[in-house]
Structure formats: structure tokens, C-alpha cells
């Protein structure tokens, strides 16, 4: 311990690192506190259980392990998992089996965006044996393709916005003054001519205003269109598809119902869930948030693995797996990555060139 650097995560010597990694690995597999002796028996450590005990005691002092009670084995702490994920575990590739099932199950998915997302979520839930959730694509970086204003009555209509990834929104609108079907058709045409091939994000109010004033239409019409485009770009409360709640019940740590109740509520509410993963949208690699890192009291026993998926060059949504802290990070991160890749691929296939 003499020359050790004073990092927040102090450097671990080789043996400690190996022991920590093994404890985490073993605990993930068995859900039982890991004893020094079982380690020396199962793994070839080259030292006795007494030595392992000493090391474990130091790992506990360093905050990587905790003991449920005096005469029990050790269990990883959040910091222990973190170190494991960041430094110790090997990055896994998607297993052949998983890759096959992923391909199989998504082969015959429909071409409809929503159904693609839903079926991807279901597959991810099933393969991960945890709760999977997927945010539906944000359209703000996708390319505008078409807007159609449909006349329903003198003062009502529907606005439909189509982007390169599909139909992104339909909005009912009400106007203050009468318009004719022809007004709306001409406005649609004007907007389509003007806005083509730009990303939704880049389309501003004045682009719309230019079209409406040209056609002598009121500001109420302009506002309706702007709001339709805005809704299309990103719904204020992003929608999440989720699947696999029942798998959580299988985890031994959730035999206690209290832990489950709040999770179910959070999953239904969606908003908290979204906020938890939102910051992972800009990342390249899969990210794991572990226990307290989630910053939500009720979720300290859970972890979330998140990875963005893309449409074209931009990340448009995220795929996540929610499970016990004791989750197989390596496999799930590989699985999430692989699924995200498959999904991105599929969106590119389906997308409108």
C-alpha cells in the first residue's frame, strides 16, 4: 500500500483484481455471498483460503465488497461492480446462440416503425431474461419528407408529418378562421417544396411563416403547422416500449415484493425511466448504471445497461435492459449492442432513401 496512487478507485494489485473479478463473477452466477474457500476450490488461485480472506478483508476496507453479516461470504458493492465493469471483465462478443436467436426472431418483423420497435423490445426482453425497454426514435435529426394537411371541416384538420424513418406524427388541429380543402392542399405543396431534405430540427417557424403568408393564410394555420412539426420532431414525453417484467420476479433478490412495487410503478410511468438513460444517448458504447448510480432511491438494487441505436448517422433512440445489480454485464452489454446494431440496420433498410 506504500506507493499506491490516491485515486478515487485505488489501484488494485493483480491478485486483488483477480479476486474481486472472481467474486463478482461468482456472485452474478450464484446469487449467494462468495466465501473464501469456495473461491480457492473453484478457481486456481495458487494461494490458500486464508490469504484470500485477508485480501477480501482489504477489498472490503477499500469499499469493493460488503458482507451481509459477520459469518457470511462477500458480495460486491456498487464500487465493486463498477470496477468489474470498467476494468476487470472481458468485453464479450455476442454469443453465436444469441446472434442466431436475434436474427431468427427479428427476421419477419413488419416494416412499420412501431412494430419494429415493439418486436425488438420483446426479443431483447426474452433474450436478456430481464426487463427490456426501448425508446421510440426521436425524429429531430431525421430528414423531412412530407407534410400533408388534411381538411376535415372548415376549422379542423389533421396534419401528418412523414420523415425518412416513417410517419412520425399526426396531429388534429383547430383553426380560428375557415379554410378550404384547397387552401390546405396548396399549403401542403408549398411546405413540401420548401422543406424537403432538411432535418426536422433545422426547420424553423419562419420557414412555415413564409409559406403561409405567401398563401394569405392566418397565423393560426401557421401555428398549427409549427406545432405539428414540433410534435413530430420530438414528443415532449418520449414513449417507451417495455417487455419482460415477469423475469424480474425470477430473481432471488426480488422475492421481497416491496422492491418490485416501486419498480413496476416507475416502468409504467416511463418518465423516470427515460430520464435515467437519456444521457446515454450520445455515447458510442453500451453504458451501465449500477445501483446508487441511478440516483433513484427505489432502484438501488437494480442496474440498467443502455446503448443507443441509430438511424443513418445519428443516434435516434436507446435500448436498455433493467435488471438486478447482479446482472451478467458482459453478456447483456454485448446483447444490447448486438440488438442495437440489428435494429439500426433494420431501420436503414426500412427507411426512406
- CA–CA gap between residue 12 and residue 62 (Å, rounded): 10
74 touches DNA by CB under 7 A: yes
Q: How far is CA 107 from CA 110, 135, 321, 338, in A?
A: 9, 21, 21, 15
Closest distance of CB 26 from a copy of itself, Å: 25
List of residues 6+ apart from 202 with CB closer than 8 A: none
Q: Identify the residue whose cell numbers are 425511466.
A: 273
Q: Could you tell me which stretch among 71-79, 136-144, 150-158, 302-310 binds a copy of itself (CB under 8 A)?
A: 150-158
Q: Helix (H, G, I), strand (E, B), or coil: what is residue 134?
A: strand
- Euclidean distance between CA atoms 219 and 208, whole angstroms: 10
Q: Does 193 bind a copy of itself (CB under 8 A)?
A: no
Which residues have CB under 8 Å from 100's CB, separation 6+?
Answer: none
d(CA 173, CA 322): 38
Q: Which of residues 8-67 bind DNA (CB under 7 A)?
A: 15, 32-38, 46-51, 53-54, 56-57, 60, 67
For residue 35, the partner it binds in DNA, a copy of itself, none, with Cβ less than 5 to 8 A by kind, is DNA
CB of 74: closest distance to DNA in angstroms?
6
Q: Which does 153 bind (CB under 5 to 8 A by kind): DNA, a copy of itself, none?
A: a copy of itself
Of 84 and 311, CB closest to DNA: 84
Residue 5's Cβ-side half-sphere holds a number of Cα atoms within 13 Å equal to: 6
Closer of 59 and 322 to DNA (Cβ):
59
- Parallel, antiparallel, or unpaired for β 240-243 and 166-174? unpaired
Rounded to the nearest whole angstrom, what is the least distance from the CB of residue 76 to DNA in the complex?
Answer: 13
Instruction: Name which of a copy of itself, DNA, none residue 310 binds, using a CB cut-off of 5 to 8 Å depending on partner kind.
Output: none
Question: According to the binding rule CB under 8 A, does residue 250 interact with a copy of itself?
Answer: yes
Residues that bind DNA (CB under 7 A): 15, 32-38, 46-51, 53-54, 56-57, 60, 67, 69-74
Amino acid at each position: 500500500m506504500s506507493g499506491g496512487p490516491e485515486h478515487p478507485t485505488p489501484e488494485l494489485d493483480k491478485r486483488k483484481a483477480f479476486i474481486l473479478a472472481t467474486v463478482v463473477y461468482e456472485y452474478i452466477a450464484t446469487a449467494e455471498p462468495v466465501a473464501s474457500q469456495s473461491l480457492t476450490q473453484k478457481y486456481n488461485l495458487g494461494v490458500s483460503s486464508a490469504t484470500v480472506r485477508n485480501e477480501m478483508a482489504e477489498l472490503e476496507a477499500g469499499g469493493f465488497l460488503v458482507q451481509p453479516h459477520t459469518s457470511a461470504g462477500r458480495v460486491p458493492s456498487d464500487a465493486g461492480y463498477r470496477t468489474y465493469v470498467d476494468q476487470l471483465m472481458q468485453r464479450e462478443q455476442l454469443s453465436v446462440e444469441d446472434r442466431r436467436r436475434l436474427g431468427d426472431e427479428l427476421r419477419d418483423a413488419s416494416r412499420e416503425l412501431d412494430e419494429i420497435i415493439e418486436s425488438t423490445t420483446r426479443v431483447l426482453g426474452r433474450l436478456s431474461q430481464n426487463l427490456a425497454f426501448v425508446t421510440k426514435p426521436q425524429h429531430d435529426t431525421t430528414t423531412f419528407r412530407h407534410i400533408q394537411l388534411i381538411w376535415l371541416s372548415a376549422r379542423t384538420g389533421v396534419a401528418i408529418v412523414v420523415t425518412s424513418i416513417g410517419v412520425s406524427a399526426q396531429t388534429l388541429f383547430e383553426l380560428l378562421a375557415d379554410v378550404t380543402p384547397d387552401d390546405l392542399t396548396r399549403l401542403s405543396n408549398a411546405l413540401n417544396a420548401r422543406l424537403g431534405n432538411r432535418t426536422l430540427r433545422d426547420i424553423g417557424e419562419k420557414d412555415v411563416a413564409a409559406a403561409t403568408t405567401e398563401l394569405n393564410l392566418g397565423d393560426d394555420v401557421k401555428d398549427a403547422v409549427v406545432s405539428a412539426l414540433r410534435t413530430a420532431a420530438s414528443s415532449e414525453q418520449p414513449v417507451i416500449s417495455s417487455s419482460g417484467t415477469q423475469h424480474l420476479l425470477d430473481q432471488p433478490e426480488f422475492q421481497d415484493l416491496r422492491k418490485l412495487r416501486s419498480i413496476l410503478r416507475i416502468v409504467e410511468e416511463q418518465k423516470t425511466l427515460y430520464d435515467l438513460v437519456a444521457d446515454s444517448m450520445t455515447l458510442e458504447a453500451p453504458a451501465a448504471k449500477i445501483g446508487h448510480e441511478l440516483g433513484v432511491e427505489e432502484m438501488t438494487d437494480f442496474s440498467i445497461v443502455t446503448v443507443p441505436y441509430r438511424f443513418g448517422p445519428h443516434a435516434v433512440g436507446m435500448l436498455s435492459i433493467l435488471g438486478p445489480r447482479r446482472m451478467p454485464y458482459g453478456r447483456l452489454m454485448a446483447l444490447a449492442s448486438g440488438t442495437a446494431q440489428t435494429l439500426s440496420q433494420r431501420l436503414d433498410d426500412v427507411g426512406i432513401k
